[in-house]
Amino acid sequence: MGTRLLFPCARTCFISFRRLSATARLFSARKKLKMSYVAVERGSPNTKNYRVFFQNESGFPISPFHDIPLLADAENQIFNMVVEIPRWSNAKMEINKEEGLNPIKQDVKNDKLRYVKNIFPHHGYIWNYGALPQTYEDPSHVTPDTGCKGDSDPLDVCEIGFKIHPRGSVVPVKVLGVMCLIDEGETDWKIIAIDASDPLAPLLNDVQDVESQCPGLLRATYEWFKYYKVPDGKPENKFAFDGEAKNRDYALKVIQETNEQWQKLINSTGDSAISRLVLFSILSYMIQTLLQKRR
Note the pLDDT tens digit of each residue in 35-49: 789 999 999 999 999
* Summary mean pLDDT of the chain: 85
pLDDT of residue 278: 54
Q: Give 106: exposed, middle or buried? Use CB within 10 Å, 0-12, 13-18, 19+.
A: buried
Q: What is the CATH number of the domain that holds 246?
A: 3.90.80.10
Q: Is 205 among the domain residues?
A: yes
Q: How far apart are CA 236 and CA 197, in angstroms?
A: 35
**Residue 24 clears pLDDT 60, i.e. is over it:** no
Q: Is 17 among the domain residues?
A: no
Q: CB of 39 within 8 A of CB of 51?
A: no
Q: Is 4 among the domain residues?
A: no
Q: Is 3 among the domain residues?
A: no
Q: Is 200 among the domain residues?
A: yes
Q: Is 227 among the domain residues?
A: yes
Full residue range of the structural domain in which residue 225 is found: 24-294
Name the band, by pLDDT with cuts 50, 70 and 90, for residue 18. very low
| Counted domains in the chain | 1
**Residue 242 clears pLDDT 90, i.e. is over it:** yes
For the entire predicted model, the pTM comes to: 0.83
Q: Is 6 among the domain residues?
A: no
- Over the range 132-151, which residues count as b (16 or more CB within 10 Å of their CB) and which as e? bbbbbbbbebebeebebbbb
3-state SS record for 157-200:
EEECCCCCCCCCCEEEEEEEEEEEEEECCEEEEEEEEEECCCCC
What tens digit of pLDDT does each residue of 109-157 get? 999 999 999 998 999 999 999 999 999 999 999 999 999 999 999 999 9
Q: How far apart are CA 173 and CA 91, in angstroms?
A: 23
Q: Is 5 among the domain residues?
A: no
**Residue 12 clears pLDDT 80, i.e. is over it:** no
What tens digit of pLDDT does each residue of 62-95 get? 999 999 999 999 999 999 999 999 999 999 999 9
pLDDT of residue 294: 60
**Residue 177 clears pLDDT 90, i.e. is over it:** yes
